[in-house]
Amino acid sequence: MTRPLHSDESGDPGLATERTALAWQRSTLSLLIIAALALRTGVQTNRLVIAGPVAVVLLTAATTAWLHGRSPYRRRAQTTRPERDRGATHPTLMRAIAAATIIAAAGSSALIVGTH
């Protein structure tokens, strides 16, 4: 019997957790880069009043994403049983990161519009 093309079962159940951890790391890196760019723009345009809070929100979101992304991977690495660990994402956490991203996008837009 053949396996379906879109099967949830893979040869190594640890790979899903690893991919999830890597995705959270990429998200964290993106948030950090945007925070640095917001600060740079704020310094260049003398608009640190806007850029400072935007950077703080982004840094907080990046820290939260990094900590959340590490927890399922660390849990999986510490267990000796070969069970699948899906690393459930908390809806409140996702809403908080989404809200931080929206606030940062609005602040970044204000910085960009203010420079022209």
Asked if 63 and 25 touch (Cβ cutoff 8 Å), the reply is no
pTM for this structure? 0.64
Q: Which amino acid is at 30?
A: S
Question: pLDDT at position 85, please?
Answer: 47
pLDDT tens for residues 44-71? 888 888 888 888 888 888 888 888 877 7
Question: pLDDT at position 115, please?
Answer: 62
Closest residue by Cα to residue 14 from 67, 81, 68:
81
Taking each continuous run of H as one helix and of E as one strand, the counts in the chain are 3, 0
- What average pLDDT score do residues 1-18 get? 61
Closest residue by Cα to residue 70 from 31, 10, 28:
28
pLDDT tens for residues 12-34? 666 777 888 888 889 899 889 98
Distance CA 43, CA 111 (A): 11
